[in-house]
């Protein structure tokens, strides 16, 4: 029972700092994704605006007329430019911003629940960011955004199962790494992470499972908040219940992360 009292003591002492880290990560991600939603809709509108001109070019194109060829080339170049901007924004800017938000607020949270004070913020962020970037790159590249998107939807059930299993394994290892990471070297942190995660998987995986389920609920609430109009027919949640659910799940996550840190510290 001492470990629960110790965790609750940290929960109370660091309540506002940890609440800021949790709420800031959730709402900054939400507002940024709402901005992304509007930005991509704007790009889509610009691309659709070219449709009448493209149809006109296709019906009037004269391969023997230099003026007609020049007009079609200018139109295609303009369309390619807008499409290129949209692709760059969606595949480069969005992941980088979301990753930075994730790392900054994860660093604030985990640094404040450790017994030992972090001596170098810069080194801590670097050690926190590098493995996170590698893992999330592979998850997004090969699982979340597969090359064959048609095949993904044709096998939606198995694809979702693959995403859930991969996400569980990835978040299990990365969460263990965040818990372990302190002022030690990167090599020592990785070595201890794998040592605890693999050698004592029978102990830590059951302990991590509630945190993973809570994380899935938080991601679902984030998706509902962003796409409220779209999901109105089957997953609508009113604004007030949505806010309450977000606050409750974030507080559960906050306390359980502290508890997880304490349990790992004892091992």
Domain definitions of the chain by residue range: 2-37+100-265
Which stretches in the chain have pLDDT values below 70?
1, 54, 57-72, 75, 139-159, 228-237
User: What is the SS3 assignment for 27?
Assistant: helix
CA distance 52 to 56: 6
CA distance 252 to 207: 14
The pLDDT of residue 108: 93
The pLDDT of residue 140: 64
The pLDDT of residue 191: 92
CA distance 137 to 170: 11
* Alpha helices in 89-200, H assignment, sequence order: 94-112, 121-139, 149-154, 156-180, 186-199
User: Which tokens is 253 given?
Assistant: 């996550």
Instruction: Find, among 212, 222, 209, 19, the residue nearest to 112 by Cα.
Output: 19
Angle at alpha carbon of residue 137, lines to 219 and 201, rounded to 5°: 70
Give the predicted TM-score (pTM) of the model: 0.80
The pLDDT of residue 153: 45
Is residue 63 within 8 A of residue 69, CB to CB? The reply is yes
Instruction: Find, among 165, 212, 210, 215, the residue nearest to 26 by Cα.
Output: 215
The pLDDT of residue 146: 52
* Cβ-defined contacts of 97-100 (< 8 Å, 24+): 97/32, 98/29, 98/32, 99/132, 99/133, 99/136
* Cβ-defined contacts of 86-90 (< 8 Å, 24+): 86/40, 86/43, 86/44, 86/47, 89/36, 89/39, 89/40, 89/43, 90/36, 90/40
Q: Measure CA of the first residue to CA of the last residue in the chain; give whole Å.
A: 16
Q: CB neighbours (10 Å) of residue 57?
A: 17
Instruction: Name the packing angle between helices 51-60 and 66-88 (round to 10°).
Output: 150
What are the Cα distances from residue 3, in Å, to 9, 113, 263?
A: 10, 14, 8
Q: What is the CA radius of gyration of the chain?
A: 23
Query: Which residues have CB under 8 Å from 231's CB, separation 6+?
Result: 223, 224
């Amino acid at each position: 029972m001492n470990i629960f009292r110790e965790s609750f003591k940290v929960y109370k002492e660091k309540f506002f700092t940890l609440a800021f880290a949790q709420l800031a990560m959730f709402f900054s991600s939400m507002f940024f994704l709402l901005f992304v939603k509007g930005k991509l809709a704007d790009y889509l509108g610009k691309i659709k605006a070219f449709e009448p001109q493209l149809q006109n070019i296709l019906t009037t194109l004269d391969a023997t007329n230099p003026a007609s060829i020049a007009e079609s080339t200018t139109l295609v170049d303009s369309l390619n430019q807008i499409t290129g901007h949209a692709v760059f924004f969606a595949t480069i800017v969005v992941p980088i911003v979301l990753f930075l938000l994730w790392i900054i607020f994860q660093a604030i949270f985990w640094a404040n629940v450790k017994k030992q004070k972090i001596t170098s913020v810069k080194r801590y962020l670097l050690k926190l960011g590098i493995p996170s970037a590698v893992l999330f790159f592979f998850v997004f590249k090969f699982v979340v955004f597969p090359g064959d998107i048609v095949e993904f939807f044709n096998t939606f059930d198995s694809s979702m199962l693959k995403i859930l299993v991969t996400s569980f394994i990835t978040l299990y290892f990365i969460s263990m790494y965040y818990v372990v990471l302190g002022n030690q070297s990167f090599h020592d942190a990785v070595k201890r992470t794998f040592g605890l995660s693999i050698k004592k998987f029978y102990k830590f995986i059951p302990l991590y499972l509630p945190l993973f389920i809570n994380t899935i609920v938080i991601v679902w609430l984030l998706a509902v908040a962003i796409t409220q109009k779209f999901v109105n027919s089957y997953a609508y949640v009113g604004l007030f219940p949505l806010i309450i659910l977000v606050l409750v799940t974030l507080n559960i996550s906050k306390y359980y992360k502290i508890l997880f840190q304490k349990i790992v510290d004892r091992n």
